[in-house]
Amino acid sequence: MNESLLRELVPAVIGVLVRRGADFASAEDAVQEALIRALETWPDDPPRDPKGWLVTVAWRKYVDAARAVASRRGRELDVEVEPPPGPVPATDDTLRLYFLCAHPTLPPASAVALTLRAVGGLTTRQIATAYLVPESTMAQRISRAKRRIAGLRLDQPGDLPTVLRVLYLVFNEGYGGDVDLAAEAIRLARHLAALTDEPEVAGLLALMLLHHARRASRTGPGGRLVPLAEQDRSRWDTGLIAEGVMILQAALARDRLGEYQAQAAIAALHADARSTSETDWVQIVEWYDELLLCTDSPVVRLNRAVAVGEADGPQAGLAALADVDPNLPRYAAVTAYLHERAGDLERAAELYAEASRAATSVPERDHLTREAARVRQLLLP
């Protein structure tokens, strides 16, 4: 099979889908799915019209994905934007699909990726960003997962930690911009919490509620990003905060700490403070230390450096960055903030500009660009 021909056809096929009404990102994702299918079938059965074949398969993939999104959003419209507290229905087909996609024969990372793609409605690009890997790597991982379970009976539910990881990533994607997606993750987490007394399930639900409580204050006019220190805390949903804290306290009382409980404890401390300056940063650093014992994540180390900078001063925060990979997303932004706090405005401006160029979203890029301009103003005589 001529793979170079496939690469040459991609722009044209994407163009056809866009002209038919698909948005560019969805068209690109559908074409990628079609390419994976081509790599699987063309060696044994090459089409007479490669471009026509790709257009047909990619369009079907796009329509299937659009229907899945419409179906999910239809379910979400059955509830208020704010998922209600209290009992949930006894059955939930979506939650069952999450467990079935987390098949025991799949490695956890592959099961999570497949579930996010097949059930969560996330694109390959969104999943790759969440995992800090190239999009092509994630596409191959999903393709391998599909091949591995092809022909198997999907009657062996996967394990709970994998499903929790999927729900966590779906919520994070929704928390980043799509409120409906976050609400769906909360709905499923509520249902799961009603089915099990596992403390980590309660911890994840508490974490979602505490973060979701701040959704109204996270963006300004035109989608402008509002950082935590500048958010109007009077707009935080105190009802969700109280519920999240109550659920967290019950989970912590079980004395079986896990990563979601530790993250929820950090979120609760932020929610309890009337301002950034009144935040108990020392206790937050302690919770980050507990979190590192649960999961030695580079993102956790990066966030811990910020907390150390607030608790012990910017130089201590910069020293804590020594254990963090400089290639990690947001590394430059965190370093810029700590240099600004330390009084090195010139270096801070450079790093804010560098961070803006590496931003993965338009609101984040614009925010960091404004930060660079603000600091440069401070340098003027």
SS (H, E, C) the chain: CCHHHHHHHHHHHHHHHHHCCCCHHHHHHHHHHHHHHHHHHCCCCCCCCHHHHHHHHHHHHHHHHHHHHHHHHHHHCCCCCCCCCCCCCCCCHHHHHHHHHCCCCCCHHHHHHHHHHHCCCCCHHHHHHHHCCCHHHHHHHHHHHHHHHCCCCCCCCCCHHHHHHHHHHHHHHHHCCCHHHHHHHHHHHHHHHHHCCCHHHHHHHHHHHHHHCCHHHCECHHHCECCHHHCCHHHCCHHHHHHHHHHHHHHHCCCCCCHHHHHHHHHHHHHHCCCCCCCCHHHHHHHHHHHHHHCCCHHHHHHHHHHHHHHHCHHHHHHHHHHCCCCCCCHHHHHHHHHHHCCCHHHHHHHHHHHHHHCCCHHHHHHHHHHHHHHHHHHCC
Mean pLDDT (the chain) is 83
Q: What is the pLDDT of residue 79?
A: 40
Q: What is the pLDDT of residue 3?
A: 67
pLDDT band at 210 (very low <50, low <70, confident <90, very high): very high
Least confidently predicted of 46-55, 83-92, 239-248, 309-318: 83-92
pLDDT band at 17 (very low <50, low <70, confident <90, very high): confident
pLDDT band at 160 (very low <50, low <70, confident <90, very high): confident
Q: What is the mean pLDDT of residues 12-29?
A: 79
Report for 100-109, 181-190, 206-215: range of highest mean pLDDT: 206-215
Q: What is the pLDDT of residue 76?
A: 42
CA distances (Å), origin 134, targets 128, 137, 171: 6, 5, 21
pLDDT band at 156 (very low <50, low <70, confident <90, very high): low
Q: What is the mean pLDDT of residues 206-234?
A: 91
Structure token pair of residue 309: 């900078």
More confident residue, 302 or 131: 302
Select from 381, 378, 328, 314 the least CA-distant residue to 358.
328
Q: What is the pLDDT of residue 85?
A: 55
More confident residue, 210 or 86: 210
Report for 50-54, 65-69, 115-119, 237-241: range of highest mean pLDDT: 237-241
Least confidently predicted of 114-118, 198-202, 231-235, 358-362: 114-118
Taking the model in full, what pTM does it have? Answer: 0.69
